[in-house]
Structure formats: structure tokens, C-alpha cells
Amino acid sequence: MERKILYRFFEGKASYEEEEEVCNWAEASEKNMQEYIKERKYFDLLLIQNKKNSTPYSSSGKMFQLNNLIKYAAAIALFVMCGLQVYRITKPEAEQEINMITVPTGQRVNLLLSDGTSVWLNSGSKMKYPASFTKGKSKRKVTLDGEGYFEVAKDIKRPFIVQTDKYDIQVLGTKFNVEAYNDTPSFSAALMEGSIQISDKSEPSNIILLQPQQKANRINGQLVVEKIQNYDIYRWKDGLLCFEHITFNNLMKAFEKTYDIQIINKNKNLDNYICSGKFRISDGIDFILQVLQRDVKFRFYRNENNTIIYIN
């Protein structure tokens, strides 16, 4: 991708064709996305340097020229069009650059961290992570609000820690799935390879160790460990929507997160309906609902703005 096109994109001056070209290129591969983020950071540094030369700047005040602020906002808006938002914040006490990635509803994102760890983030998830894991640091830490699938690069001397709202997960090198949205009381961690240690933030001495093929679910405020019976439910990163023995209403909540749409169920006969199935996310919610109609009777329709699905 030509740098001049990227910079026009960042400034909000790119044509519609160029915007589409940048979005398609950035989403084509992880390598392209990493190059995009690298160029974005370099562009920001140039922007900040220009601001320093023309306007007082401080980490608390952040006074900007109005025209540059508009350009920066336009660049962020265009980045959202590609289905991804990335912000950069500074952690003063460590003098370390911290990135925060936010995944819009209905999207999924794959991210490669500086240590080689691969992370898949599900719809509506947020994660803070260092731009680089400093070699002098004894631990590699990220903060998760949402659902993520981690393939952690092994480093015996530096444990990898996923911090969530209620629990911290510590590993050395492994593959595991974590679901821990801050706005819900639920928490779930499932281990595919290696081992993980889960500690309760409210009671740090309360520690649980998971072995492969085990998962821990938060039930009535306590973590309950059991064997993983179905790995399909963790294949959301592969573009699959899999569910087993789930209530109809909970399934609709999953659809809301996956397809960024509100669903209102007015059919009380469906409250006790238990569902199991597997679909490609790309099949679309209308197709999936039509398939469910073969097993249970209901009707559905959308509102005029196409933002709500009503089920009768």
C-alpha cells in the first residue's frame, strides 16, 4: 500500500475508492494490519510533533489546533468503517506505551502481540496491551473486557497474565479461551493446551489450576471446574456460531452480540425452548431463525429502521 494513500486516509482526505482500497488491504491479512497500525503510529507521532511546535501540549491538557483535531477525528471515524478501533494511551508511571483495541459489535479481530502471542477478540471486546513487552519486566500483562482466545508464546521467565474484572489468569505458554465481559456477572475460562492459574481478585489466595480439557465457570459467585464436553462453542474465532443446550432467550442474546441488532421475544412459549446447533456467522440471522422455525413455531419481523427483530 502506498504511504501517500494511507496518509490521505488518516487525514480524512482520501477518495471513496481509496478508503475502500485501504480497508480491504488492511483486512486482507494480519501482516497488512500490523503495517497499517505501524504507519498509523508513525503518523500520530508526526501529528503530535507538529502540535508541539505550534501549540502547548501536556499529557493532561492536550491542547490541539482545531483543524488538526478535526483531521484526527476523521481518521478515527474512517478506521471505524473498517470494523476496528485502535486507541493509544500513555501509562505515566511506567513510561510505557499502552494500546487499547475495541472490537465493534458484530466483528472479530485477530491481533499478534510483540512477544508472538496471537489473540482473537470477539464482538464487543476491549483489550489493553503494551506496544511491546519490555524485556526488563518480569511479567507480560494485558487487560481484557470481553471474550478472547489466546495462543500464548512460551516464555518461562516471564508469565503471561490476562487481567479481567473479577479474576486474573496466569500462564507460561498455552491455548485458552476467556469470556469476561465487565457488564455481566458471568466468567468462563476453558483450557485447550498447557495449564493456567486463575486467581480471585477479591481473594488472591483463592487459586484454581486448570488442566487441558477443563473449563471453569462462575456459578453463584464461585468458580466451578468441569471437563469440556464440546469444543465447538469456542470456534467463534473461525466464524462459526455453535450452541448446545441453551435457552432460546440466551441464544437471542448471543445473536444480538454477534449481529449487532436488538431482539425482542414476545412469544412466551419459547422461554423454555432449549436449542442446539451450528451455523456459519456469515449465514446471517434471518437464515438461522428460519432454520429454527422448522423445529419450533414462531414468527419474526424487523422494524422500519432494521434495528430490531420482533419474535411472536
Task: Supply the pLDDT for residue 12.
Answer: 62
CB 195 within 8 A of CB 209: yes
Q: What are phi and psi of 191, to 5 degrees?
A: -105, 125
Task: Give the dihedral sign, CA 253/180/121/173.
Answer: negative
Domain-located, residue 40: yes
Q: Half-sphere exposure of residue 219, counting CA atoms within 13 Å on the CB side?
A: 6
Q: What is the pLDDT of residues 130-184, one digit of tens each?
A: 988 876 678 899 999 999 999 999 988 899 999 999 999 999 889 999 999 998 8
Query: Which of 229, 250, 272 is the C-terminal boundary of a domain?
Result: 229
Q: Which three cell numbers stand for residue 220?
A: 453463584
Question: In which region does residue 284 sit, left (phi positive, over 0), alpha (psi from -120 to 50) or beta (all else)?
Answer: left
- What distance in Å separates the CA atoms of residue 235 and residue 14, rounded to the nearest whole number? 36
Domain-located, residue 234: no
Looking only at the bridges linking them, the beta strands covering 167-171 and 160-163 are: antiparallel
Identify whether residues 43 and 153 lie together within a single domain: no
Is residue 271 pLDDT above 50, yes or no?
yes
* CATH code of the domain in which 265 resides: 3.55.50.30
Cα 112 → chain centroid: 13
Task: Supply the pLDDT for residue 59.
Answer: 37
Domain-located, residue 202: yes
Q: What is the pLDDT of residues 210-269, one digit of tens each?
A: 999 999 999 988 899 999 988 888 989 888 889 888 999 999 998 998 888 999 999 999
Domain of 259, in residue numbers: 239-311
Give the total number of structural domains in the chain: 3
Reduced to 3 states (helix: H, G, I; strand: E, B; else coil), residue 190 is strand
Domain-located, residue 277: yes
Domain-located, residue 244: yes
Q: Which three cell numbers stand for residue 16?
A: 471513496
Task: Supply the pLDDT for residue 44.
Answer: 61
Identify whether residues 133 and 166 lie together within a single domain: yes
Domain-located, residue 303: yes
Identify whether residues 92 and 213 lie together within a single domain: yes
Identify whether residues 268 and 208 lie together within a single domain: no
* CATH code of the domain in which 104 resides: 2.60.120.1440
Is residue 76 pLDDT above 70, yes or no?
no
- What distance in Å separates the CA atoms of residue 160 and residue 153, rounded to the nearest whole number? 9
Is residue 111 pLDDT above 70, yes or no?
yes
Identify whether residues 18 and 152 lie together within a single domain: no
Identify whether residues 120 and 221 lie together within a single domain: yes
Is residue 121 pLDDT above 80, yes or no?
yes
Query: Which of 82, 108, 143 is the C-terminal boundary of a domain?
Result: 82
- What distance in Å separates the CA atoms of residue 68 and residue 177, rounded to the nearest whole number? 40
Identify whether residues 111 and 70 lie together within a single domain: no
Domain-located, residue 78: yes
pLDDT grade, residue 3 (50/70/90)? confident
Q: What is the pLDDT of residues 15-67, one digit of tens each?
A: 757 777 877 787 677 777 778 777 776 666 665 455 444 444 333 334 334 34
Identify whether residues 73 and 90 lie together within a single domain: no
pTM given for the model = 0.65
Reduced to 3 states (helix: H, G, I; strand: E, B; else coil), residue 35 is helix
Query: Which of 30, 63, 82 is the C-terminal boundary of a domain?
Result: 82
Identify whether residues 176 and 264 lie together within a single domain: no
Q: Is 303 exposed, middle or buried (0-12, 13-18, 19+ CB in 10 A)?
A: exposed
Domain-located, residue 258: yes
Q: Is 90 exposed, middle or buried (0-12, 13-18, 19+ CB in 10 A)?
A: exposed
Identify whether residues 214 and 143 lie together within a single domain: yes
Identify whether residues 20 and 120 lie together within a single domain: no
Is residue 294 pLDDT above 50, yes or no?
yes
- What distance in Å separates the CA atoms of residue 276 and residue 243, rounded to the nearest whole number? 5
DSSP state for residue 70 in the 8-state scheme:
H
Identify whether residues 113 and 198 lie together within a single domain: yes
Q: Count the neighbouring beta carbons within 10 Å of the beta carbon of residue 293.
A: 12
Kindly give, in sequence order, each residue whose CB lies less than 8 Å from that of residue 295, ignoring residues fewer than 6 positions away.
none
